[in-house]
Amino acid sequence: MRWRIAAFLLTGFACQLQAASTASLAKSESSTEMDYDVAGKGPIGWSGGALFAVEAQSSILPVVRLFGRDGIQLAALAVNIPDARIVGVYSVARGSNGLVAIAGGAGDFEGRTTEFIALYPADGSVRKVIPIPVDIYHPNAIAVAADGSVWTAGIPQKNASDHNVFWHFDSLGNKIGSAVSATMLPGSLALTSALFAASPQGLVWVCPRDGRYLELSLDGDVTNDITVKFPSTTSIVTGLTVTEDGQRFVQVQSKQPRQIAIYSIDKKSGDLAVLANSPDFHLVGADGNNLVGVTSRRIVSVSIVP
């Protein structure tokens, strides 16, 4: 496969992308420039046809800014948790219906802490904030599925009555189910580093430490459970996404060999195929069949050419 830069969604500085030997790059004729510097923002991602970037992370009032394909701001969502002195945003996702889901944690002035899930409909109003006791469940990643429901990937805690890793909520914030017992997956240390994303058919989850890769249906049934063969045992997975046509991609940083690269995943064998070396490209999502990444304070959409 080859890469072709299809469009610059947000620009500001020079773009550098090192292609693999089988890849080629071609800059688009048109680009959209915008006065927005992504440096110091995070997490940053792309889902549901929009870029999101968290500002004022770990403060009393983080803000999630959303931008469309044309670079125009769609919304600025204040993550307001009552009585909190500090709020951290772990994960953000946007669905095709415009619903924005946020997983995070907060602490008050008396030292009490809570985890939470916050849901915002397309108009930007606060639909619901769901507090989750810290001794019950830690939702470290969130995704909005193709059917508009919300899933979290997290760690059941010591006082949990539900020991499943994946919790399922409807678009109103009501918990409607869960899936996959924590006893079936690695320990807490590995689970905190796992990556989670929606796919056209359900959800995908990968745990870098042991290469465990799962696919879930929209109902939470495990439809695939394989081991992904990463370049080395010290590989760090920094990005995971699924394109509209069902291709799975991960970004992996490895020490031996020393490189940062985008790989496609063979969902049957678990084999990885290098798409491109990407030392200055951070994979943040997929827009249709294009990969989206941050490079040198720029948001770049990259098409995949067979």
Class assignment of domain 39-227?
mainly beta
Domains of the chain by residue range: 1-35+234-306, 39-227
pLDDT at 71 over 60: yes
Give the global pTM: 0.87
Question: 53 pLDDT exceeds 50?
Answer: yes
Contacts of 145 (CB under 8 A, 6+ apart): 95, 151, 198, 202, 203, 218
* CA diameter of the chain: 57
pLDDT of residue 5: 39
In this predicted structure, what is the pLDDT of residue 4?
41
Instruction: Give the pLDDT of residue 199.
Output: 95
Q: Which of 77, 34, 30 is nearest to 53 (CA)?
A: 77
| Residue 174: partners with Cβ closer than 8 Å, 6 or more residues away | none
The chain-wide mean pLDDT, for the chain, equals 84
Reply yes or no on whether the pLDDT at 20 is more than 50: no
Place of tokens 């959800």: 203
The pLDDT tens digits of the residues spanning 24-50 come to 323 333 334 445 677 778 899 999 999
Close Cβ partners of 168 (under 8 Å, ≥ 6 residues apart): 149, 150, 151, 175, 176, 177, 178, 179, 220
- Which region among 38-52, 183-197, 247-261, 292-306 has the lowest average model confidence (pLDDT)? 292-306
54/65 Cα distance (integer angstroms): 6
Query: How does pLDDT run across 164-199, given as a tens digit for each residue?
Result: 999 999 999 999 999 999 999 877 777 888 999 999
124/31: higher pLDDT:
124
- pLDDT value for 302: 62
Query: Torsions phi, psi of 288, nearest 5?
Result: 65, -120
| Averaged pLDDT for residues 211-239 | 91
Alpha-carbon distance 252 to 46, whole Å?
18
Q: Provide the percentage of residues in the chain whose pLDDT is more than 90.
A: 59
Amino acid, single-letter form, for residue 146? A
